[in-house]
Amino acid sequence: MYKSDENYTMLCDFYELTMGNGFFEKGYKDKICYFDVFYRNVPDNGGFAIACGLEQVIDYIKNLRFTSEDITYLRSKGIFSEDFLEYLRDFKFSGDIWAVPEGTVVFPNEPMLTVRAPSVQAQLIETFVLLTLNHQSLIATKANRIFRAANGRAVSEFGSRRAHGPDAAVLGARAAYIGGCAATACTLTDEEFGVPATGTMAHSWVQMFDSEYEAFKAYCEVYPNSATLLVDTYNVLKSGVPNAIKVFDEVLKPRGFRPVGIRLDSGDITYLSIKAREMLDKAGYPDCKIVASNSLDEYLIRDMLLQGAKVDLYGVGERLITSKSSAVFDGVYKLVAVENEDGSITPKIKISENVAKITNPCFKKVYRLYDNSRFVAVADLICLHDETVDQSAPLEIFDPDYTWKRQTIENFTARELLIPIFKNGECVYESPSLKEIREHCAREVSTMWESVTRFENPHTYYVDLSQKLWDIKHKLLSEKAFH
């Protein structure tokens, strides 16, 4: 189970240790390397993703250390030198990290996080950094899609029992909150992170009593100020809603309480919610909310609302916590440059017959460009680390997929996305509160054009390379093609 002070040093791919030993043996252990974390494809063929998981990466870096038990295990493998194992005894991250803040909108192929560190250190952290950013960014992105589909109605994360393990449940609920969910069913996420935990009853509560009426009555007697009743155990319209109304009249109203809601967890929820709303209103409970659950996602929620569903709150489980329709966030960790003894930087590139897998070399920074007239994001520009954007002059941006398509941007503001997180191994960044991260996410999404945020065939957002970076990349491509 994830804890902020847990030592996850050995949660790495074995080849990170074999490479580390090799770098050590060949005199490369102090060679400064630059690695970028970026992703290639937006989940669900959407227009953008939400960066998430940085706080857990920070905790991980702070707690990196090899224990005596770890050293003993590595020695037992029979392939690591004693000098390397002694080096690991005093291991501590001493490098630099830059990253986009959690909740930031990010696009394919642009750095979300950059590591500058000695080779052994930089290589060792690859697995944990990727698994953390990939998982939480995936869930935050899915949650934001569902949140937007609900069109102002609250969404609660209900997925712990279908998550892929304890950490996926706890941290997934955290990411879902950042993406827009208002609450979670996961109690531990509330205890650990302060995401509001909510919940009332399962069908087993109703089945436990001799009748549905008695079950509802008992619950309202115990929780008169927070009564939400599950009305679909037997028959929603013939018994569930009528019994709920009867108990509201007999137990809550005489004591001065109002019901919070009823929940529908099966059947034709659109139809049932419309009929239930009519019954509740007629009985004098127009303020009683209708909650819907049962294998929902952004498409089902959108369709229900288009069909006139009278639902006030959605509980979304398995299709959110596992991002069932697009279950992998394909973030990668790639070497982009090495630093020479004189401080100069040599760019590195990976070439593939699959054009999408060709990397962008060099130590870089990313600018987001905003139209000053409406303050909406119009393009991102990936530059060399020492480049600046001249905001006083027009800037020509190329389409990422069709280089013959271009637009000229004028009257814009440029904002750097990557900010310092670690400097010389020390954390220089204070993580915001979870509420602040969630608010940042909402602001970020609000700056995107509607053509980028739509679910089907979203507009491809412009992510361009500066001319200097473009020239270096194509020079390397030309050189390597004949190497």
**274-331 pLDDT, tens per residue?**
999 999 999 999 999 999 999 999 999 999 999 999 999 999 999 999 999 999 999 9
Residue 406 has pLDDT above 80, yes or no: no
Spans of all domains in the chain: 14-139+331-481, 140-321
480 or 158, higher pLDDT? 158
Q: Could you tell me the two tokens for 407?
A: 């637009």
* β pairing state of 105-106 and 49-50: antiparallel
Residues 159, 317: Cα–Cα separation, whole Å: 4
Q: Which residue has the tokens 């394919």?
A: 108
Q: How long a stretch of residues is the chain?
A: 483
Structural contact between residues 147 and 316, judged by C-beta atoms closer than 8 angstroms? no
For 396, counting Cβ atoms within 10 Å of its Cβ (0-12 exposed, 13-18 middle, 19+ buried), the class is exposed
Q: Is the pLDDT of residue 259 over 60?
A: yes
CATH topology of domain 140-321: TIM Barrel (3.20.20)
User: Does pLDDT of 2 surpass 80?
Assistant: no
CATH 3.20.140.10 fits 14-139+331-481, yes or no: yes
Q: Phi/psi at 369 (nearest 5 deg)?
A: -105, 130
Q: How far is CA 423 from the centre of its chain?
A: 25
| The pLDDT of residue 399 | 67
Find the range with the poorest average confidence among 208-212, 407-411, 438-442.
407-411
- The C-alpha atoms of residue 401 and residue 404 are separated, in whole angstroms, by 9
pLDDT-derived band at 480, boundaries 50, 70, 90: confident
pLDDT at 418: 98
Whether 143 and 179 have beta carbons less than 8 Å apart is answered as: yes
Residue 122 has pLDDT above 90, yes or no: yes
pLDDT > 70: what percent of the chain? 98
Mean pLDDT of 352-380: 94
CA pair distance 248, 74, nearest whole angstrom: 65
> Do 286 and 312 form a contact (C-beta atoms < 8 A)?
no
- The pLDDT value recorded for residue 213 is 98
Q: In this model, does residue 483 exceed pLDDT 60?
A: no
Model pTM score: 0.96
Which pLDDT tens digit goes with each residue over 161-219? 999 999 999 999 999 999 999 999 999 999 999 999 999 999 999 999 999 999 999 99
The pLDDT tens digits for 376-398 are 999 999 999 999 999 988 898 87
**Counting Cβ atoms within 10 Å, is residue 41 exposed (0-12), middle (13-18) or buried (19+)?**
middle
- Looking at residue 317, its pLDDT comes to 96
The mean predicted confidence, pLDDT, of the chain is: 95
133 token code pair = 């950013």
pLDDT digits over 52-104, tens only? 999 999 999 999 999 999 999 999 999 999 999 999 999 999 999 999 999 99
Q: What confidence score (pLDDT) does residue 4 get? A: 80
* CA–CA distances in Å: residue 461 to residues 50, 114, 241, 407: 14, 22, 47, 12
Residue with tokens 């139209």: 371
**Residue 146: closest CA among 292, 41, 265, 302:** 302
- What is the Cα–Cα distance from 314 to 195, expressed in whole angstroms? 16
pLDDT at 403 over 70: no
